[in-house]
Amino acid sequence: MSKRQVLVVDDEPKMQRILEIMLHKMGHDVLLAADGQEALKLAQSVPIDLVMTDLRMPGMDGVALLTALREHGIEAPVIVLTAHGTVESAVAAMKNGAYDYILRPFDVDAVEIVIRRALALERVQRENQFLREEVEKGWGEFIGRSAAMQQQYEFIRHVANSSTSVLILGESGTGKELAARAIHRASPRREALFVPINCAAIPPDLLESELFGHSKGAFTGAFKERVGKFEMADGGTIFLDEVTEMRPPLQAKLLRVLQEKEVERLGSNRSISIDIRVIAASNQDVRRALQQGTLREDLFYRLNVFTITMPPLRDRVEDVPLLADYFIEKYAVKLGRGRPTISTAALTHLQSYAWPGNVRELENVIERALVLGQGEQIDTRHLPPEIVSAAEPLASLAAPAPAQRLALIPAVEHLEKMLLSQALQQVAGNKAKAARLLDISERTLWYKIKKYGLS
């Protein structure tokens, strides 16, 4: 168990000292308070993982302290220390939310067991809340049998068993987070948490608090202490999605955390040791980000120990039927309908499309088709117009009318011109992307654009 911060509240200095020595031997930090009022002030100013309080104290007693802690949003477990004559009061304290009580005089070994259980419960409660939020988001599946995906599976198998930092690159919607989750599930850290955070989705002013946590009152609106994502991932994996969107000053703080393996919550000067694996991802050209100064070079080399590049869906069209089948089943259950089939014509259109939004776009298209189809077979009429029109030039050329002249060179040139136009349209005129889509060099693309008079 990692080092935790325990608040000991007792009006007897001797008892304070006994508990302080015992907790230090267990590897924890200790804060001391002589009464409930002093303890409440401490708990409001610094993060507390556990409170051990005497039941009878002058002024605010242990039960009143427990009530005040909960009213101020401090959820740390509370252990009450009491003498034999006040057991009934201790039981009453447990009914008010105390974790357990300890009779004085006590056996040190027995007390250590109670402390370990209380801290373990606090961590489990924190993790359960996080997991409930993750389940609500939906995790999806990592699907694909193409050669491009098989290569990524091989990379994942090689890197999973190490603690090496991984940088996952790829366009939006290619499954970078799914790859990160696959690495975590195949790693020795699989029993601990996988904690994702999208650096582009959180306002820059709040991102630091999300990453590192904060103490109550650290800034306007910090009404209660918050555990950061790095603390949450202790023992497991943290996934920093779109890391190039993080501001350089925060990148410097992140670099320090990665180097020192310690984190400090905002508004606190207490260092918290962490044991985590870092997986980062970006849909940007990281080399260009380095040149433009939006990504720190030292952070890049800290993260870029092992690189995985997720292929776009257009480079693995053979996986489209598998993915479509998975999403049909997923949304048939979600919409409470029977599982429809998909026509050959619809699949042909799906495989002919370039998918600029990748797997995420395909998922949206399938969900839309199920809504429109009302449970019937998915056909071309259920697909968006841009997907149907993308394949129409090929279809019309593939089935010429009987009287059509079948001269080979004009037909090939017509098809080539249609493919060039289609590619340029799908990538909004981006020549580099169009060349990759057509699997030709940019120089060849420019030549053909000039040849056919395309804009």
pLDDT digits (tens, 9 = 90+) for 162-218: 999 999 999 999 999 999 999 998 899 988 999 999 999 999 889 999 999 888 777
Q: Can you tell me the mean pLDDT for 255-284?
A: 91
Query: For position 157, what pLDDT does the model report?
Result: 87
Query: For position 446, what pLDDT does the model report?
Result: 84
Q: Can you tell me the mean pLDDT for 127-141?
A: 48
Does 11 have pLDDT greater than 60? yes
Q: Can you tell me the mean pLDDT for 211-228?
A: 81
Work out whether strand 100-104 and strand 78-83 pair parallel, antiparallel, or are unpaired: parallel
Query: For position 85, what pLDDT does the model report?
Result: 58
Query: For position 193, what pLDDT does the model report?
Result: 92
Structure tokens at 371: 């809504």
Distances (CA, A) of 167 to 48, 211, 263, 274, 446: 34, 18, 21, 20, 33
Query: For position 129, what pLDDT does the model report?
Result: 57
Structure tokens at 115: 């402390």
Higher pLDDT, 230 or 267: 230
Tell whether the torsion through CA atoms of 409, 414, 418 and 420 is positive or negative. Answer: positive
Query: For position 394, what pLDDT does the model report?
Result: 46
Q: Which of 87-101, 191-205, 315-329 has the lowest mean pLDDT?
A: 87-101
Domain 147-311: CATH superfamily, name plus number: P-loop containing nucleotide triphosphate hydrolases (3.40.50.300)
Mean pLDDT of all residues in the chain?
84
Domain with CATH 1.10.10.60 in the chain: 404-455
Q: For residue 295, what is the DSSP state? A: S
Fold of 5-134: Rossmann fold (3.40.50)
Structure tokens at 153: 């599976």
- Which architecture characterizes domain 313-399 according to CATH? Orthogonal Bundle (1.10)
Does 241 have pLDDT greater than 80? yes
Query: For position 413, what pLDDT does the model report?
Result: 73
Q: Report which listed range, 238-252, 317-331, 343-357, is most confident.
A: 238-252
How many whole angstroms separate alpha carbon 38 and alpha carbon 3? 23
Residues near 133 by beta carbon (within 8 Å), at least 6 away in sequence: none
Query: For position 107, what pLDDT does the model report?
Result: 83
Domain with CATH 1.10.8.60 in the chain: 313-399
Q: Can you tell me the mean pLDDT for 58-73?
A: 87
Distances (CA, A) of 401 to 99, 337, 395, 404, 442: 82, 41, 12, 5, 35
Residues near 160 by beta carbon (within 8 Å), at least 6 away in sequence: 182, 183, 186, 187
> Which tens digits make up the pLDDT trace of 331-363?
998 988 888 989 888 888 898 898 999 999 999
- Do residues 299 and 305 lie in contact, with contact meaning Cβ atoms separated by under 8 Å? no
Query: For position 137, what pLDDT does the model report?
Result: 42
Q: Can you tell me the mean pLDDT for 294-320?
A: 92
pLDDT band at 116 (very low <50, low <70, confident <90, very high): confident
Helix H, strand E, coil C: the string for 383-394 is: CCHHHHHHHHHH
Domain 404-455: CATH superfamily, name plus number: Homeodomain-like (1.10.10.60)
Q: Can you tell me the mean pLDDT for 54-61?
A: 87
- Do residues 52 and 9 lie in contact, with contact meaning Cβ atoms separated by under 8 Å? yes
How many whole angstroms separate alpha carbon 11 and alpha carbon 14? 9
Instruction: Count CB-CB contacts under 10 A for residue 321.
Output: 13
Query: For position 359, what pLDDT does the model report?
Result: 93
> Which tens digits make up the pLDDT trace of 366-408?
999 999 988 789 999 999 998 988 655 444 444 444 444 455 6
Domain with CATH 3.40.50.2300 in the chain: 5-134
